[in-house]
Copies of this chain bind each other. A is one copy, B any other.
């Protein structure tokens, strides 16, 4: 364990972060490994360590050595050499692992177990670290299970977390945009933190679930943050150094206008030679200081960010400009596909924000450089509790496409509501664009651009505000390493590690609270895939018409007769036509469209009968009352077990559940009242509507 214990706890220092909760890595989790004889082979033999390179092996091996030292000291085992009959050997060796990264690096590890002795081999220090945490996660079963010889490699080479952290506290968006867990672990007071031990502790959590890249600043790059790329590069290098021991590579979000705003050039036109030179020089400076730097993330021509459109260029031109600059260093450009008209006219029903990313990007397939990764949000809108899978993800076979998820709960309760997102992501990952027997989306993107997600972590003692929201960070790592895992099994892993002494009741209660929590949230919020209905600006809590007459393109069109958005080819915006068969037809027809997406694709009368047998209006009533009842049950369940967890966890979860219940009641009452006032149709069960 490196540096984690160095977190400043001086109450006098206003900017110091609290000592972090151990999350899923409490000391007890290390017992099985820690009570054994563990060898980290060849750490002391430079001849066997791979040459310095992008993985920073020396620091990683040092961190790994620290882990086994701390674990064995805590639990009575010993760090030994390979010839001192170790129970566990961690061996950095030549490749015997199957997957190679595009840049030639090799990821994954091999685990052999013979008579209770375990050997983990890997060709990179980071993969060996991943193998170590794999053994830790297995606890005693790592040693007790039958003999085995397994290889483990991540499904996707690219597994990244994006931080929407600002250096300066933004007057509207705060220190962390859409952050619900305190300030930034990287920045405070207008600069990079002096004490970056929380960043290292964070990297350790990421390493334990296999995430190895982090973009450390907001994709909305404000003036102050833009300078990270130039003036503040030494500070970025400090962050990279803090993440490096746990094998996490640093990426930066950059502004497309940087050649002008930072470089003083008169243009940022991608076809301008001075601009190209500026980016090449900027990239060279970054890699000179940070040899294992990952690359750039770009939000261009989106919600006010600058981009290539200003120069009559398209997004391939823009992305390739940066790709050219980072290519000599093996760098990547993550280019976000979240491009749409955020000054739409609500009166214009023919413009459909859902269509925008496909319309912008699908025609560019094949034109992006090899080191460009097009980062596509899972749905066509914006991380709603329920959306169809973005058709862009199926539209660009000649482009490296990454799936972007949102671990931070912007639209799913902002870490005040307990919402385990694993099942939501599993649905997306398992989506088969071309029908039953075709590959799942996870396989397609894993082989293409991999995964990215917005982190839910901040300076909060529990990392994520809501202690149970740690499960989402855990699940993101585990499901992107292996998308075939069952989301509830992953949750079970998280429970096992986070609450190592959990009683059967506590375990089952956590499952009861979390297993269906995403479905519960959906029950009491916007119905049937229609989305939004949140308060503009902060996006928390209900406001049915909040976005209805805004320029944001997020409408439900509810009137006294019906509700929903007609996105059919026959009579609507034609968005269904962006899907390959069979979905273009499944979604097109009210008869075949799944209930949960009905209002995303169709405008129907309140009396329309769902496949469930309920009318739309009665569904709204029933789900909202049911959702609140389920939250009430969550509150009661927690009280059954609160005494079994540490007081601070019990109290924080209790406080959050109380707010979740208050908020769910508000959602229920506003939604049912809104639709009753509009439809005039009484609840068949006669419950109170205002």
A680: contacting residue among B558, B560, B673, B676, CB under 8 A: B560
Docked-complex contact A559 and B690, CB < 8 angstroms: no
Q: How far is the CA of A537 from the CA of B158 in the complex (A)?
A: 42
Q: Which residues in B have their C-beta under 8 angstroms from that of A676?
A: 559
Q: Mark A528-559, 1 if CB is under 8 A from B, else 0.
A: 00000000010000111110010000000011
Sample (28) of A-B pairs whose CB atoms are under 8 Å apart: A171-B171, A347-B669, A347-B673, A347-B690, A537-B537, A542-B549, A543-B549, A544-B545, A545-B545, A545-B546, A545-B674, A546-B546, A549-B666, A549-B669, A549-B670, A549-B673, A549-B674, A558-B677, A559-B676, A559-B677, A559-B678, A559-B680, A560-B560, A560-B677, A560-B679, A560-B680, A677-B678, A678-B678
Q: How far is the CA of A571 from the CA of B555 in the complex (A)?
A: 36
Query: Quick check: is A561 within 8 A (CB to CB) of the other chain?
Result: yes
Q: Which 9 A-B pairs have the closest CB atoms?
A: A559-B677, A545-B545, A347-B690, A560-B560, A549-B670, A560-B680, A560-B678, A347-B669, A678-B678
Q: Which residues in B have their C-beta under 8 angstroms from that of A559?
A: 676-678, 680
Docked-complex contact B347 and A561, CB < 8 angstroms: no
Q: Interface size (A, Cβ < 8 Å)?
A: 25
Expressed in whole angstroms, the minimum distance between the Cβ of A544 and any Cβ of chain B is: 7
Expressed in whole angstroms, the minimum distance between the Cβ of A315 and any Cβ of chain B is: 31
Q: Mark A656-690, 1 if CB is under 8 A from B, else 0.
A: 00000000001001100110111110000000001
Expressed in whole angstroms, the minimum distance between the Cβ of A6 and any Cβ of chain B is: 33
**Nearest opposing residue in chain B for A676, CB measure:** B559
Q: Which residues in B have their C-beta under 8 angstroms from that of A546?
A: 543, 545-546
A561: contacting residue among B669, B674, B680, B690, CB under 8 A: B680
**Nearest opposing residue in chain B for A666, CB measure:** B549
Beyond A543-B546, A549-B666, A560-B677, 4 extra complex contacts between A and B, CB < 8 Å: A347-B690, A542-B549, A549-B670, A559-B680
Q: How far is the CA of A679 from the CA of B549 in the complex (A)?
A: 18
Q: Mark A336-349, 1 if CB is under 8 A from B, else 0.
A: 00000000001100
Q: Which residues in B have their C-beta under 8 angstroms from that of A537?
A: 537
Q: How far is the CA of A678 from the CA of B679 in the complex (A)?
A: 8
Q: How far is the CA of A549 from the CA of B347 in the complex (A)?
A: 24
**Nearest opposing residue in chain B for A690, CB measure:** B347
Q: Which residues in B have their C-beta under 8 angstroms from that of A171?
A: 171
Q: How far is the CA of A346 from the CA of B678 in the complex (A)?
A: 17
Q: How far is the CA of A339 from the CA of B414 in the complex (A)?
A: 33
Q: How far is the CA of A546 from the CA of B561 in the complex (A)?
A: 22
Q: Which residues in B have their C-beta under 8 angstroms from that of A545?
A: 543-546, 674
Q: Mark A557-586, 1 if CB is under 8 A from B, else 0.
A: 011110000000000000000000000000
Q: Which residues in B have their C-beta under 8 angstroms from that of A544?
A: 545
Q: How far is the CA of A573 from the CA of B545 in the complex (A)?
A: 27
Q: How far is the CA of A346 from the CA of B666 in the complex (A)?
A: 10
Expressed in whole angstroms, the minimum distance between the Cβ of A184 and any Cβ of chain B is: 18
Most chain B beta-carbon contacts within 10 A, residue among A347, A542, A558 = A347
Expressed in whole angstroms, the minimum distance between the Cβ of A617 and any Cβ of chain B is: 12
Q: Which residues in B have their C-beta under 8 angstroms from that of A690?
A: 346-347
Expressed in whole angstroms, the minimum distance between the Cβ of A553 and any Cβ of chain B is: 15
Expressed in whole angstroms, the minimum distance between the Cβ of A160 and any Cβ of chain B is: 33
Q: How far is the CA of A545 from the CA of B549 in the complex (A)?
A: 11
Q: How far is the CA of A676 from the CA of B549 in the complex (A)?
A: 14
**Nearest opposing residue in chain B for A537, CB measure:** B537
Q: Which residues in B have their C-beta under 8 angstroms from that of A549?
A: 542-543, 666, 669-670, 673-674
**Nearest opposing residue in chain B for A679, CB measure:** B560
Q: Which residues in B have their C-beta under 8 angstroms from that of A678?
A: 559-560, 677-678
Q: Which residues in B have their C-beta under 8 angstroms from that of A346?
A: 690
Q: Which residues in B have their C-beta under 8 angstroms from that of A677?
A: 558-560, 678
Expressed in whole angstroms, the minimum distance between the Cβ of A632 and any Cβ of chain B is: 18
Most chain B beta-carbon contacts within 10 A, residue among A171, A560, A666 = A560
Q: Which residues in B have their C-beta under 8 angstroms from that of A679?
A: 560
Q: How far is the CA of A223 from the CA of B670 in the complex (A)?
A: 36
Q: How far is the CA of A92 from the CA of B549 in the complex (A)?
A: 62
Q: Mark A25-64, 1 if CB is under 8 A from B, else 0.
A: 0000000000000000000000000000000000000000
Q: Which of A344-381 contact B (CB under 8 A)?
A: 346-347
Q: Which residues in B have their C-beta under 8 angstroms from that of A560?
A: 560, 677-680
Most chain B beta-carbon contacts within 10 A, residue among A542, A543, A549, A673 = A549
Q: How far is the CA of A666 from the CA of B548 in the complex (A)?
A: 13
Q: Which residues in B have their C-beta under 8 angstroms from that of A666?
A: 549
Q: How far is the CA of A131 from the CA of B45 in the complex (A)?
A: 99
Q: How far is the CA of A560 from the CA of B673 in the complex (A)?
A: 12
Expressed in whole angstroms, the minimum distance between the Cβ of A687 and any Cβ of chain B is: 13
Q: Which residues in B have their C-beta under 8 angstroms from that of A347?
A: 669, 673, 690
Most chain B beta-carbon contacts within 10 A, residue among A537, A545, A673 = A545
**Nearest opposing residue in chain B for A541, CB measure:** B549
Q: Which of A294-353 contact B (CB under 8 A)?
A: 346-347
Q: How far is the CA of A559 from the CA of B676 in the complex (A)?
A: 8
**Nearest opposing residue in chain B for A688, CB measure:** B347
Q: Which of A108-149 contact B (CB under 8 A)?
A: none
Q: Mark A422-465, 1 if CB is under 8 A from B, else 0.
A: 00000000000000000000000000000000000000000000
Expressed in whole angstroms, the minimum distance between the Cβ of A664 and any Cβ of chain B is: 14
Q: Which residues in B have their C-beta under 8 angstroms from that of A670?
A: 549
Q: How far is the CA of A678 from the CA of B544 in the complex (A)?
A: 14
Q: Which residues in B have their C-beta under 8 angstroms from that of A674?
A: 545, 549
Expressed in whole angstroms, the minimum distance between the Cβ of A253 and any Cβ of chain B is: 25
Q: How far is the CA of A543 from the CA of B550 in the complex (A)?
A: 9
**Nearest opposing residue in chain B for A171, CB measure:** B171
Q: How far is the CA of A599 from the CA of B419 in the complex (A)?
A: 42
Expressed in whole angstroms, the minimum distance between the Cβ of A620 and any Cβ of chain B is: 15
Q: Which residues in B have their C-beta under 8 angstroms from that of A673?
A: 347, 549
Expressed in whole angstroms, the minimum distance between the Cβ of A35 and any Cβ of chain B is: 53
Q: How far is the CA of A188 from the CA of B546 in the complex (A)?
A: 35
Q: How far is the CA of A666 from the CA of B680 in the complex (A)?
A: 27
Expressed in whole angstroms, the minimum distance between the Cβ of A135 and any Cβ of chain B is: 49
**Nearest opposing residue in chain B for A561, CB measure:** B680
Q: How far is the CA of A406 from the CA of B561 in the complex (A)?
A: 41
Expressed in whole angstroms, the minimum distance between the Cβ of A90 and any Cβ of chain B is: 51
